[in-house]
Chain A
Amino acid sequence: MSGLATLETGLLLGLYALLAGIWGVLWGLAQFRQTQICGRSAAAAYGLHVLAALTIILWTPLGFGWKSLIVGSSLVFLAIPPMTWRLLQHTHQKEGSEHDRQPSQYSSRIVARL
């Protein structure tokens, strides 16, 4: 890899990860605000993330395996915000019940055995 390609690839990889983060934040905000601007901004951020991924794939001298990893990661990055959100909503559904604030009985038994 040439010197210039090193810098370009490194920067593109950073941009790729940063845009994934921006996509996650904007997607989360869109869930609260329910406004078109938030939803579109999130979609735009993921679009830019895909653009960064495509640039890495088409333009950098990384090998096939690493480029496949970039494609796979992009798909996982796409799924993480909605998956995390659903799990958060699911876990928060029963928040506040009395039993909820008690320590786990199972772990108590482990210590009792000790």
Chain B
Amino acid sequence: MYRSQTLALKYFSAAITLFGVMTITGLISAYYYLNPDFLLGILPFNIAKILHINTLVMWLLMGFMGSIYWFLPAELGRETAGIWAAEILFYVFCAAVAVVAVVFIFIQYGGSNEAALWFINQGRKYVEAPRWAALGIVVIMVVFAYNVIGTAIAARKTTGIITVLMIDLIPLILLYLIAFPAISNMSADLFWWWWLVHLWVEATWEVLIGCIMALALMQLLGTSRRIVETWLYIEVALVLGTGILGLGHHYFWIGTPNYWLTIGGFFSALEPLPLLGMVVHAVYDAGAQHMKTTNRPAFYWMMAEAFGNFIGAGVWGFMITLPQINLYAHGTQWTVSHGHFAFWGAYSCGVISVLYLVLQKTRNLAFVDGPLWKWSFAALNLGLVGMTGALLVSGFVQAFVERAIGGSTLNAFISGQENAWFVDGMVARFLLALVFTAGYVVLVWDVLTLGRRAPAVAAVAPAQ
């Protein structure tokens, strides 16, 4: 096994751990809606929410990096360039995440000064990590880019997938630099901040997961390189074509000119079109393989990715993307419902799929199956879909009672929060979050014991 692949295993371990932290902090955040006095004076809601969202970003990022470190040496036929730096930075990354989490939990707030920006919280949603940690993330991403590009140069070859990946890493790093400036004008600040948030999630990350899925498909289904590369180019063109100007749907109510209403609505309404193509592709692959594969969990999680992406990002996004609807749905639980489903479908399922592929290689399993992955697959997906359904109901109440009828006053906000449908939605969300958590526990158990508890699986040749 290459050192790069050993590093990949560490990244996957860290990713799954952070997935757990994300789940627990999500559960706590959900419980605040049922009992607002919970952890009063100890851990406020906003800190739990910061931890929930930031660990989501970090576990997916670590999952992506683990996937690339796993596939890269096999793809280019040599050890990853600068692997020693990547190995050191993995521990730095983990330590930085732990320190930032401790600061968020125990210090929580700082003053309105530079020191607070540097050491406590940058105060920008989704990228709250203090500036020293954000700088650390830039260093880690630069070294990661060097690992990929340097390996291609050292190997004196590349592939279509690696070329797309190398190009993608440049905006991935540059866009993160937007996390740093402290712009005092809120409209200008949000204008640029959305470049980071939207163009990471709906452009660079989409391309990154596209590359990872292309590499995984070759390994999982033996699909030829020409096919996956052709589809990767088509997907990248369509996703970027609709996704870049789809940025406009975040510019609706932040003080930007009116033409963004048309641009944002139009381009984001086109976003489900390429996603339908991906669903048809998934049906084709499933039919061509007769649903037969040597790694059933990886295959099913990959299918879940295609369908979840269409429903979460496409269907749920389409409901709220036109400005007329978004005027009322913006910032309600309706949006939260879309966010949960879209992240799950677009990214989380893909990372879990790759994790099972990696386990098959590292544990020398000829065939991966069994009851545990089915339980975790069912509980995680049922929990997630149930949560998004419950959040949708609560979001409808907010959009209707609080926004459309009440006019977004404080009284209307209280009316919305006290509405029986909103409260029931929040209770249902918490209960289904428990189902999701159970699914996570089973997933971890399966990952830890796969190949060690089933004597029926046959050993195959050692992994590369």
Could you list which residues of chain A lie within 8 angstroms of chain B, going by C-beta atoms? 1-4, 6-7, 9-11, 13-14, 16-18, 20-21, 24-25, 27-29, 31-32, 61-62, 65-66, 69, 73, 76-77, 80-81, 84-85, 87-88, 91-92, 94-97, 100-104, 107-108, 110-112, 114
Contact B265 A111, beta carbon cutoff 8 Å: no
B186 within 8 A of A: no
Residues of A with C-beta under 8 A to B401: 3
Contact B319 A6, beta carbon cutoff 8 Å: no
Chain B, range 309-336, C-beta contacts under 8 Å to A = 310-311, 314-316, 318-322, 324-325, 327-329, 334
The secondary structure that dominates the A interface is helix
Contact status of A91 and B159, CB under 8 A, knowing A69-B266, A77-B276: no
Bound form: Cα–Cα A6–B319 in Å: 10
Contact status of A103 and B273, CB under 8 A, knowing A17-B315, A80-B280: no
- B268-289 interface bits toward A, Cβ cutoff 8 Å, 1 = contact, 0 = none: 0110110011011101100110
Chain B, range 162-204, C-beta contacts under 8 Å to A = 162-163
Chain B, range 87-119, C-beta contacts under 8 Å to A = none
Contact status of A95 and B227, CB under 8 A, knowing A21-B314, A69-B269: yes
Contact A10 B400, beta carbon cutoff 8 Å: no
From B152, B159, B311, B328, A6 is in contact (CB under 8 Å) with: B328
Contact A1 B157, beta carbon cutoff 8 Å: no
Residues of A with C-beta under 8 A to B325: 1, 6, 9-10, 13
Contact status of A81 and B276, CB under 8 A, knowing A62-B324, A66-B322, A100-B225: yes
Bound form: Cα–Cα A10–B277 in Å: 23
- For residue B231, which residue of chain A has the nearest CB? A91
Contact B227 A73, beta carbon cutoff 8 Å: no
Contact A62 B224, beta carbon cutoff 8 Å: no
In the complex, how many residues of chain B place their beta carbon closer than 8 angstroms to a beta carbon of chain A?
Answer: 58
Given contacts A13-B321, A25-B283, A107-B157, 8 further A-B contacts (CB under 8 A): A6-B399, A24-B279, A84-B277, A97-B224, A103-B159, A108-B156, A108-B157, A112-B156
A-B contact pairs, 13 of them (CB 8 A): A2-B404, A3-B400, A7-B400, A10-B319, A10-B396, A13-B321, A24-B279, A25-B279, A25-B283, A62-B324, A95-B223, A95-B227, A108-B158
From B159, B269, B316, A104 is in contact (CB under 8 Å) with: B159
Chain B, range 419-439, C-beta contacts under 8 Å to A = none
Bound form: Cα–Cα A108–B400 in Å: 57
From A7, A24, A85, A96, B224 is in contact (CB under 8 Å) with: A96
Residues of B with C-beta under 8 A to A25: 279-280, 283
Chain B, range 236-286, C-beta contacts under 8 Å to A = 262, 265-266, 269-270, 272-273, 276-277, 279-281, 283-284
Chain A nearest Cβ from B422, distance in angstroms: 14
Contact status of A1 and B311, CB under 8 A, knowing A27-B280, A73-B270: no
Contact B156 A111, beta carbon cutoff 8 Å: yes
Contact A20 B405, beta carbon cutoff 8 Å: no
Contact A20 B276, beta carbon cutoff 8 Å: yes
Residues of B with C-beta under 8 A to A103: 157-160, 225
- For residue B395, which residue of chain A has the nearest CB? A10
- For residue A19, which residue of chain B has the nearest CB? B315
Bound form: Cα–Cα A102–B218 in Å: 12
B206 within 8 A of A: no
Residues of A with C-beta under 8 A to B321: 13
Residues of A with C-beta under 8 A to B270: 73
From B159, B287, B322, B396, A29 is in contact (CB under 8 Å) with: B287
Residues of B with C-beta under 8 A to A114: 153
Contact B280 A28, beta carbon cutoff 8 Å: yes
Residues of A with C-beta under 8 A to B273: 73, 76-77, 80
Residues of B with C-beta under 8 A to A81: 276, 280
B128 within 8 A of A: no
